[in-house]
A and B are shown apart, each in its own frame.
Chain A
């Protein structure tokens, strides 16, 4: 379709100016600096900088602490995405079945979306903190030596719980929308042919939800990688030891707290590559959805 337009020549640039100015000053310029820094090495006093090629990257990737944070990030992201999507799917399927109270359930299930990740972390830490957390109390009565502030795997469990909890609402909304788009006739036809509810779910509903699930998988991965910084910063601070130090937390910690510029910049660039890959996957998929409805 040929779009009808206004003939003005100068006005459109004026309209684009604010967005472009902000984009260049706060996005492109700093990103360019990160790229440049990642190829340089500065001496301890910041007096001399030297071009070192890819040696920052080599050092970062050979650093056991960095490899550790990759492992932590992978475990954390997979667990968070899986738990929050599984719980949300279960709840969305059940919410489709009920007749009475649908709106009531829906309203109450979507509020955690509005809770900041850092606060979600603090809520869970309040419930499970070793000294007076109400839910830590029964754990200790059962003989479990519960102390997420000192025990690595327990700390990890806690931030995974908090991060998944916060994301259930988001996934729930999308699964409900996805379920509503499935034609009822398909499910009824299967029911008439004698398929049980379980069989109907796994052979019809679940495959037809694949586009929604795939989309959510990408979004949840991005969420687990980036938006959960607040949870980790507020709850564990990457510790105990480095057991909950994710890639993003490490960039922040090395660059902003420990001021190791070259390494931090190299880590930033690695993260940039990850984001670009994820965005590309997301948009490729969306392109398909546009074409095939």
Chain B
């Protein structure tokens, strides 16, 4: 048993080392966000938070970041929130609808439609950048929320996940509902939706993060700074060659850009792990 205790001690040491590697960069940016610009520019930066927390955060939130990117951090957070929620909710709704049609109805070309949806897995944005951009220009969708959201809500993964789950619903449930006179909408709303609640919650967490961390798509779809998501805006603020970058404000923006998805992961950890492990099946 002594050997066991020692191996556990080593395990703790490894994990602490891992925590330092994994959590340190995030912690350190938070530290940087609480120091003055002068302190940040004179390495090494202290390991503990400084006393500029209130000053930096209020400066960033009330106009400071506006000086760098031309747009307040509030607008950027709002844009990211709209895009992330739009993508998550939109994907869940249209995937529920298609999975419902494919599992609970029989109609000509059913499997053809299934494969059409499935094959989109093989066509990520990266393999069709220019033509997709052209479609967006033709449809006047550049610099609109619809342009940032709609093309990303077609999802083979979510449809497959719901299809998989719907197929485990016992036939008796549907038969009983039909005997009681329930139509498709009634069955969906009163039986299927409540049963799918955990799956929807799990998927929501994953999709919210997916939406929040989008990069290439918003980069292509936005020209005007006021439509930027916070991730893209942050990229535009940073210039390592430029001595005038207000690093303390950039650091605050960085923390604000990663805090919402991290909170979602930490607070909804159980759904998150479930969603991640299941949506990859």
Could you tell me which A residues sit within 8 Å of B by CB distance? 1-6, 8-9, 11-13, 15-16, 18-20, 22-23, 25-34, 37, 87, 90-91, 94-95, 97-99, 101, 105, 107-120, 122-127, 129-134, 136-138, 149, 165, 168-170, 173-174, 177, 197, 215, 219, 226, 229-230, 233-234, 248, 251-252, 255-256, 261, 264-265, 268-269, 271-272, 275-276, 279, 286
Partner of B254 from the list A119, A177, A256 (CB cut-off 8 Å) is A119
Residues from chain B with Cβ under 8 Å of A20 in the complex: 98, 113, 116-117
A15-B97, A19-B154, A116-B215 known; A94+B41 contact, CB < 8 A: no
Q: Does B29 contact A (CB under 8 A)?
A: yes
Bound CA–CA A122/B231 (angstroms) = 10
Name the interface residues of B228-262: CB closer than 8 Å to any CB of A.
Answer: 231, 234-235, 238, 240-241, 251, 254, 257-258, 261-262
A114-B262, A115-B261, A134-B43 known; A11+B132 contact, CB < 8 A: no
Q: Does B7 contact A (CB under 8 A)?
A: yes
Q: A1-B171, A15-B101, A255-B129 are in contact. List 4 more A-B contacts (CB 8 A).
A: A5-B106, A6-B105, A20-B117, A119-B257
Residues from chain A with Cβ under 8 Å of B116 in the complex: 20, 23, 28
A19-B154, A105-B15, A119-B257 known; A134+B28 contact, CB < 8 A: yes
Tally of B interface residues using CB under 8 Å: 97
Name the interface residues of B1-54: CB closer than 8 Å to any CB of A.
Answer: 7-8, 10-12, 14-15, 18-19, 21-23, 25-26, 28-29, 32, 40-45
Stretch from B61-69, B195-203, B263-271 that touches the partner: B263-271
Residues from chain A with Cβ under 8 Å of B21 in the complex: 87, 165, 168
Give chain A's interface secondary structure class.
Answer: helix
Bound CA–CA A16/B123 (angstroms) = 19
1/0 contact string of B84-115 vs chain A (CB within 8 Å): 00000000001101101111111100100100
Q: Is the beta-carbon distance between B128 and A118 smaller than 8 angstroms?
A: no
Q: Is the beta-carbon distance between B184 and A6 smaller than 8 angstroms?
A: yes
A30-B135, A94-B18, A132-B40 known; A117+B122 contact, CB < 8 A: no
Q: Does B148 contact A (CB under 8 A)?
A: no
Q: Does B71 contact A (CB under 8 A)?
A: no
Q: Is the beta-carbon distance between B150 and A22 smaller than 8 angstroms?
A: yes
Q: Does B55 contact A (CB under 8 A)?
A: no
Bound CA–CA A11/B186 (angstroms) = 14
Q: Is the beta-carbon distance between A229 and B126 smaller than 8 angstroms?
A: yes
Residues from chain B with Cβ under 8 Å of A115 in the complex: 26, 213, 258, 261-262
Q: Is the beta-carbon distance between A5 and B11 smaller than 8 angstroms?
A: no
Q: Is the beta-carbon distance between A112 and B29 smaller than 8 angstroms?
A: no
Q: Report the tally of A-B residue pairs with Cβ distances under 8 A.
A: 297
Bound CA–CA A109/B20 (angstroms) = 10
Q: Is the beta-carbon distance between B25 and A113 smaller than 8 angstroms?
A: no
1/0 contact string of B135-152 vs chain A (CB within 8 Å): 100000000000000110
Residues from chain B with Cβ under 8 Å of A129 in the complex: 240
Give chain B's interface secondary structure class.
Answer: helix
Residues from chain A with Cβ under 8 Å of B78 in the complex: none
CB distance from B100 to the nearest CB of A (A): 6
Q: Is the beta-carbon distance between B154 and A255 smaller than 8 angstroms?
A: no
Residues from chain B with Cβ under 8 Å of A276 in the complex: 122
Residues from chain B with Cβ under 8 Å of A134 in the complex: 28, 43-45
Q: Is the beta-carbon distance between B14 and A94 smaller than 8 angstroms?
A: yes
Partner of A132 from the list B42, B128, B178, B214 (CB cut-off 8 Å) is B42
Q: Does B276 contact A (CB under 8 A)?
A: yes
A-B contact pairs, 22 of them (CB 8 A): A5-B104, A26-B132, A26-B150, A30-B135, A31-B127, A31-B131, A87-B18, A98-B15, A110-B272, A114-B213, A115-B262, A126-B251, A129-B240, A131-B240, A132-B40, A136-B43, A137-B43, A137-B44, A165-B21, A197-B7, A233-B235, A234-B235
CB distance from B280 to the nearest CB of A (A): 7
